[in-house]
Structure 1
Amino acid sequence: MWMPEALLPDLAAAAIAFTIITYVILDGTDLGVGILFATHRDPDEKRIMVKSILPIWDGNETWLVLGGGGLLALFPVAYSVLFSALYIPVMTMLLALIVRAVALEYRQDASGRMKRLLDISLVGGSLIATLCQGLIMGCVVQGIEQHDGRFSGTGWEWFGAFPLTCAVVLVIGYALLGNCWLFWRTEGRLQSVAKRRARRLGWLTLLGTAVVFVWSGLVNPAYREHLFASSLTLPLILLQCGLVAGFHRAFSHRFAFLPLFAVLGGFGVAFALAIIALYPMILPTSLTIREASAPPSSQAFMLSGFAVLVPVTLAYSTWGFWVFRGKVKKDG
């Protein structure tokens, strides 16, 4: 075997974590633009918004496929328990993503009543998918009941106060990402509106994230203990403070991508703090990474595949962003 067996579960968990955060920051931006679509009436502005994400949205969703398939192969027990507990929000999310995809791809050639229907589908699909992702995240942090690797709950744990709060905060966060994307990729009135909204949503996202983290410590005191015990917590919090300050100063800078990059960094730091709080659990409160792991041979094989697929997917995504770089114009 090309690496010690003892390292395989942690490496496998790191691979899954990487696909999750990459999906969130990439497709979260697309979903944020879709959510914001409801706040614009000007046909030209709508056309520009769709054109800004049309070339890259499908590549961003590749990370969702990698994450789901990787979880099944690397942690089959966690996959079984997770999808048994979250069948309704997971399936609803997938259906919403399909509806959004259809709206994105067919809107340009539609007219009249059909275009209005596709606009509603784009907003609804983006909003529902985001809410479902927030519910899934909140339910996982809240804890999923399992016994001997089998789900033992009711299947409605996701419909609680904490998961619903996480869903609302994620909608605000994705809308912030969407506004920062539009500030970078557009100009004129659309850029000005995005700038104004991004400043407001930045504070709301920060407040909502703080509420979720404090509430998480009340849901499970072990999270709070893990954060206090880690030597990485304070540097990460200081980094987050720096990113917040940089975000609000970035709008006056000539580089329009800086606000988006600051928010993406903030999402990454929050995700790192969440990992510190949860580790070594993969499904709180009773299923650890090692308990849920596939056999070492399976994990080694899948990690070899990840070592090839992840760089290729990153290169493809980077190339796509480079090809379609620059300001998006109505007739460009």
Structure 2
Amino acid sequence: MQVRSLFKNIPLLLCAAGAVVTAASLVLATARRGLESAADSPGLLAGLALFAASLALYLVRRLRRPEASLAWVSLVLLHAGLLAALAGFFLNARYGEKGFVYIREGDAASFYVDKSDKDRKLPFALRLNDFRIRTYPNSLRIRSYDSDITVEDGGKKTNVKLSVNHPFSYGGYDFYQHSHGLTAGLNPRILAKAGPREAALELKFRETARVPGCGSVTVRDFIPSAVFPDSGIRDAGVKGILNPAYLVDLVTEKGAHFRRWVLPAAPESEQLGGCRLRFLDFKGVEYTVLSVSRLPFSPLILLGFALASAGCAGLALVIRRKVK
């Protein structure tokens, strides 16, 4: 009798064990590596497997004793839906792909880096044509940023625009705008407005350009995150656009020479010898970081939630009838 009672309570025992294992794995994984890593921890997957076993046993027991009632159908839908959702989550964690794609402006990437810092091949390439950052007026606080990307898949090319709140999907992969930054030591091309008439022009790094009404302008150096200690300007080495600075030489048409660090965040630094240099964009030094995921079993999760929702609705109707 006790053995039979124990067997009858196996689904409940599995559910309790799953709750303990899941809670313990979440706490340990979060304490060690953060909450984001807890989703892929072996302990969490083991806890979900126990939950799934409990639901499967309960569902088999229900199906062996069918009833022509709304309560029975609702319970079957609820447990079947939860089982499908857990199965989809488990399969995505086991066979899905997640990582990050790093692309410098003007370059293409055909691989991503997973959470183990291993390169994983993409079946196509992503080319970053342009990256734009918009800040609030008179501030370095970022308002928005987006990427113009071309997907190169064999001979097929698809142009997409990716921003923080507008991801895109291609070939079963989902891409989200994750972060960005500037890279020092390259040859940036800079869009600027210079001269009395605010004419737009392109300045190539360390090449002298003629600015009508101003003179000759040369960008000598570039620092992504400029700080000014007592020893002079240096790069703080912090990711992201914090305080970009350009060392500019200006030789006026009258032969006067000026050299200054120009900072977009400091409008007063833009005045050189009666000319104004205002940098509008950063070319060749920007990079974007895209989060990439391929979760092929997500439709199973959605189906599970749909079935579970239908089961909950049916149970709510049963309870309402009983209350009346």
TM-score category, normalised to shorter length: under 0.3
Larger Rg, first or second structure (1 or 2): 2
**Higher fraction of strand:** 2
TM-score, structure 1 normalization:
0.25
Pick the structure with more helix per residue. Answer: 1
Output the TM-score relative to the length of structure 2: 0.26
